[in-house]
Amino acid sequence: MSNTVETPDRVTMYGADWCRDCRRSEALLNELGVDWAKVDVEQSADAAQTAQAISGRMNIPVVHFPDGSHLVEPSDADLKAKLEALGAL
């Protein structure tokens, strides 16, 4: 696997169903009506490796944005602020 990760064309969240922070971020994205994609790191070792390559950490959720930036375990306020800054809301 290369060290570079392709920039997503929409907000992409790497997470797992058992993760409370992932469920919270997922609920916020849905509530705000954001066009986003979910990647379940439990379903694919490649997805888990990609999330780690993006963030440099093992923590989830990793929310990857179309501008190439990311947030790890963001608070609702931080995630909403980033989405507003991107014009995604």
CB atoms within 10 A of CB 43: 11
Can you give the pTM of this predicted structure?
A: 0.91
Task: Indicate if the pLDDT at residue 2 is higher than 50.
Answer: no
pLDDT of 29 strictly over 70:
yes
Give tens-digit pLDDT for 30-62. Answer: 999 999 999 999 999 999 999 999 999 999 999
